[in-house]
Structure 1
């Protein structure tokens, strides 16, 4: 039996090449057949045509509508498995995700959505605004939230349009600059102890220390003990809850940890960062886990779930700790965590050795050099090849 996994890609080359390499090196899975990878092309599609794919990893449709509609079609009509549901992309615009997690009792900072600074380009806007838009006092809204605060687009990504606002002057400068972007004002978590970014792929989550003020190559810090066990477990639970709730299986979550409290601030990312030059030390884990989850979903004929079943989550009551425990149970049920772990132990027990041999060998070295060459100017190539090589050598040493 042969299974085909599709990659729907934009500009990325490093992790798709790595994914293809690991899947090829893995070879046929006993009793499950062979797995092929195909990069999906964009072309007219018949709504009744049968797709060639068992599963598709999408990294494009959050902004490109033609492939998004193809994903909806193959999911709804053909049961092709998708790691992120195209039916909840609107929630990737942050606002609905904030609302859902607030209702579920998570410690999301105080957040207010304010109208556009500049009206959208729509002929009906002037009449509607004149009749129904109420005047509002931006200063009053900010003072009610409290300084400092962040102004950020409700549909933002990659830190686009994010401003730290410390006083009235910065508030108005940021709002004037927002133009036609629809903005949230969100309370800042002052004096936090740790910024955690967790990358979730299926039933697994890697929590990493994140330093947003650093350049991209230095933002993820190799630090295995920066959170207490309780905080680390809560960060994992929040990420799994968000993903199970919205049917996202390839997503990242940002949380600020202050004392005993964990505050989720950004957890709706249709295209999470998995670049080699960003994740470096954590890149092999990401590729290995992505391969494992895809193989598990295809081999076990895991069915795509369009129904969100939000009522199960909204019905949960009790203390914060009791609700977290029940949310984790619901999320683990959705991800079939025990079945996944058993599958990996039974059928993918050799993948750790496969990935370790690959990262320690010349094929990975070529991928690293090619990625650095494509990413950085020529005068920085040697510096960054050595920088990332050192981090990956550390990973190989730790695994060995």
Structure 2
């Protein structure tokens, strides 16, 4: 029996629907369930074949626990090691090199620092910051937002240098980026599953969450050519970042899709938020992806320690095989010797 673990936060409908879908399709041979964990032992054994992680970015204990489970060969959606290392500014820079349209963006030094950081700790930091050079490059309006965050938290739309300073002074220890605001003609949010399956959803980010007005069910919202470009850009981004479940958002201006947000490894999939049509799509797509992974015997991701561990495990096996071979050879020699003695040869 194969086991799938679902690690969740406050969301309700998506994990419940995914578990139900997997169990129905699995027919007892594949079982999905909510993960229950407490103290994790150093010698913890493998519990799950695949884990779908929806909350470890908010709970450090969960992130550490998932890394430990990955060590036993559990396939984690999404990879906790890369997710820990990733950030939005790196994503923007990588995507730009891959030919994806990205708004002009600048990474800003933090406004404040933890207690033990002093002026001597920051001797490599330019001071004062060249604010005029930054705003001349990015322009207004612009968005000030965390370099690693989501859910539109701590995001401000900026129209002037004075407003930028005022908002920046409130950011504390958050590391921020200033990004050109694309005054879009169209906006889409795209699910991507398995780095290959894409759902392009017309989306209005100006509407409140759970208002029922964010996701717009419009046929042929994009031209076929633009739709294809968006799909290709989504797949390029997700393959490059290695995310098996992600959303990518595009602000489209004058026919150009600018990717503005694509570090969403635990994207919103709640029925009340995304609507029935989109909810069903993501549940079905994830179910199909999980079963494809199980059929192909999911290999652990190529972590640096894998070769060392494989070699470490292989050595005792080789020694054991050699010992067994030596014993077998000794038995054969003894048998031959006894037969020779009996026949006088």
Q: Secondary structure at the match of 1:186?
A: strand
Kept after mapping to 1: 8 A contact 2:46/2:73 = no
TM-score by length of 1: 0.71
Match of 1:129 among 119, 122, 125: 122
- Structure 1: state its 5+ residue gaps: 309-400
Aligned to 1:107: 101
Aligned to 2:158: 165
Q: How many residues align?
A: 300
Distance 2:219 2:76 in 1: 31
Distance 1:207 1:289 in 2: 13
- Return closer, same or farther for 1:41/1:141 CA change in 2, 3 Å cut-off: same
Q: How big is each residue's C-alpha offset from its partner over 1:213-269, in whole Å with a ceiling of 9 and x where there is no partner?
A: 112221011113111112112212222222212221111011112233221111001
Shift of 1:199: 0.9
Aligned to 1:242: 237
Aligned to 1:57: 52
Kept after mapping to 2: 8 A contact 1:196/1:210 = yes
Shift of 1:287: 0.9
Aligned to 2:19: 20
Kept after mapping to 2: 8 A contact 1:85/1:306 = no
**Structure 1 residue 201 corresponds to structure 2 residue 168:** no
Q: Secondary structure at the match of 2:62?
A: helix
Aligned to 1:88: 82
Kept after mapping to 2: 8 A contact 1:92/1:269 = no
TM-score by length of 2: 0.81
Aligned to 1:10: 9
Distance 1:125 1:40 in 2: 43
Aligned to 1:255: 250
Kept after mapping to 1: 8 A contact 2:191/2:200 = yes
- Structure 2: state its 5+ residue gaps: 305-345
Which structure has the larger Rg? 2
Shift of 1:125: 2.8
Q: Secondary structure at the match of 1:232?
A: helix
Residues 350-389 of structure 1 aligned to structure 2 (within 5 Å): none
- Return closer, same or farther for 1:65/1:306 CA change in 2, 3 Å cut-off: farther
Shift of 1:173: 2.2
Aligned to 2:182: 189
- The structure where helix makes up a greater share of residues is 1
Worse-matched range after superposition: 296-305 or 196-205: 296-305
Distance 2:42 2:93 in 1: 34
Q: Secondary structure at the match of 1:265?
A: strand
Distance 1:129 1:24 in 2: 54
Kept after mapping to 1: 8 A contact 2:113/2:172 = no
Aligned to 2:281: 285
